[in-house]
Amino acid sequence: MKVEQSQNNRIIQKQAEGMNAIERNTKTVENDRSDKLVNKDQASLSERAKVLAKARINLAEQPPIRSDKVEALREQIQNGLYQIPVEQLASIFLNGLRS
């Protein structure tokens, strides 16, 4: 019995096509995996970290503490000489309620 070359070539060709398909699928799977790994890295801040960041920004925007004024007020309070500015305090509260 004679085996024709053309049949062998077809078998070899089919095997080669099958291998190419497997290689393409393998590369696709590898690319999908690498894409998933690349896209998987994320970072996010917790709500607490966001609040702390805002507080830090607000604190940096505040004027520096005037220690001389603080000390003078402390002495007045300790000596009983400090008078609470009731009208000014009420105005501040009312303005805060309106806002």
Three-state SS for 61-90 is HCCCCCHHHHHHHHHHHHCCCCCCCHHHHH
| Average pLDDT estimate for 35-64 | 83
Q: State pTM to two decimals.
A: 0.33
| Average pLDDT estimate for 50-64 | 91
pLDDT band per the 50, 70, 90 thresholds, residue 36: low
Q: How many CA atoms lie within 13 A of 76 on its CB side?
A: 10
| Average pLDDT estimate for 62-75 | 92
pLDDT band per the 50, 70, 90 thresholds, residue 27: low
| Better-predicted residue by pLDDT, 38 or 85 | 85
pLDDT at site 15: 57
* pLDDT exceeds 70 at position 8: no
Which residues contact residue 82 at a Cβ distance below 8 angstroms, ignoring those fewer than 6 apart? 73, 76
pLDDT at site 11: 57
The domain limits of the chain are: 47-98
Cα separation, 11 vs 19, in Å, equals: 12
